[in-house]
Structure 1
């Protein structure tokens, strides 16, 4: 579902994965002053899984990537509703999407399906927004924390140590999945402006083929996981479990 957020027609992939899956809504906003930089996400649901699915799209183009980098270097982290401080670009991107209809649709649907769980996911920038979504929704009491599962892929460092501690307190089911030499989870650099990862990391020190082993670091910035890797490359960020950002453009029947 993380890669599905890159598709202009996510309902195709949703139906391929969940026979009874429904698209609640897809939301796209201008991320910053550059009209070409957009952020996007969708809400879906499955009655058989009894779950609401919230997915956020990753970085869209080099212009957006450049703006993320500039904002990180020139703007200090800002206060986060759940505690600590977070990257201003990530926070503003999430809030713009959240207030562009996503929040209202989410609350309306979850109030009609009180027995559902919530699955939140995203890749890259989408992973950062997914983490902020999880912390926000839990802090505001919209969902019981034990009914929320947060899975992110290639998540950059989102906030400082106080933010990481707040996330660790609020959300018991969190997995930051990292592919081998993926460089993005190492950005911003650990400690720069206070940036620090929350737990828990799942590191695949391999090609992520079916059945490949992985290491779980249940603490913040686990030394035995990707922090132990010195060789960092961009290509490992583009592909997770054999799927790249183009994988779901016309559905997920390849699964």
Structure 2
């Protein structure tokens, strides 16, 4: 579902991925001073998995540049009623989408599907927004935190130590999946303004092909996982589970080999 957010028609990906599902809406907004840079998210529900889904699209090239500029030039801003600090670019992008329709659509799906879980996901910039979304929903009591599952791919550091502590204490089911030497999870650097990852990390120190092993580090930062990686590169950020992160650009028909298995 994280990769599906790259598609202009994620409803096709949702339909192909689940035996029974409903697509709610794709929301797109301008998310920085450059009009060509838009942030995207969609909402859906899988009845076969009994889960409401919020998925955030990852970064475009120019958006990555804006994220780096913001991280290097501005201190993280206070959020969550003073309980944490996060990178302002990520927070603004989340808020723009949240109030443009994602919040309303989430609440509609929640009310229509009592008892379902909430799955929140994203890749790259989308991972950062997904982290903030899950934390916002949990801390404002919009959804039972014990039924929220946050799974991200190639997530950058979203906030400082206080944010990591807040996420760790609020969302029990939280996993950051990282591909080998992916450089994006190393930014912003931890020495800058006290940026810090929240737990837990699942690190594939390989090409993530079927059957490959992984290591789980159940703390915030751990040099036994990706924090100790060398030869950092961008290519590992672009490929997760042996497919390009933006593969839905070409459509999603029949891509899910696990469906009906």
CA–CA distance in 2 between the matches of 1:116 and 1:210?
29
The secondary structure found in structure 2 opposite 1:149 is strand
Shift of 1:245: 3.1
Shift of 1:177: 0.2
Shift of 1:80: 1.9
**1:28-177 map, 5 Å:** 28-60=28-60, 62-81=61-80, 83-177=83-177
Instruction: Kindly indicate whether the alpha-carbon contact (under 8 Å) linking 1:17 and 1:252 is maintained by their aligned counterparts in 2.
Output: no
Unaligned runs of 5+ in 1: none
**Deviating more after overlay: 164-173 vs 13-22:** 13-22
Alignment TM-score, normalising by the size of structure 1: 0.97
Shift of 1:252: 4.3
Q: Who is 1:8 aligned against?
A: 8
Instruction: Kindly indicate whether the alpha-carbon contact (under 8 Å) linking 1:13 and 1:253 is maintained by their aligned counterparts in 2.
Output: no
Instruction: Kindly indicate whether the alpha-carbon contact (under 8 Å) linking 2:45 and 2:109 is maintained by their aligned counterparts in 1.
Output: no
CA–CA distance in 1 between the matches of 2:222 and 2:64?
26
Kindly provide the CA deviation profile for residues 121-175 of structure 1, in whole angstroms up to 9, marking residues without a partner as x: 0000000000000100000001111101000000000000010000000000011
CA–CA distance in 1 between the matches of 2:75 and 2:197?
17
Instruction: Give every structure 1 segment of 4 or more consecutive aligned residues whose post-TM-superposition deviation is greater than 2 Å.
Output: none
Alignment TM-score, normalising by the size of structure 2: 0.95
Unaligned runs of 5+ in 2: 257-261
The secondary structure found in structure 2 opposite 1:248 is helix
Q: Tell me the C-alpha RMSD between the 2 structures.
A: 1.0
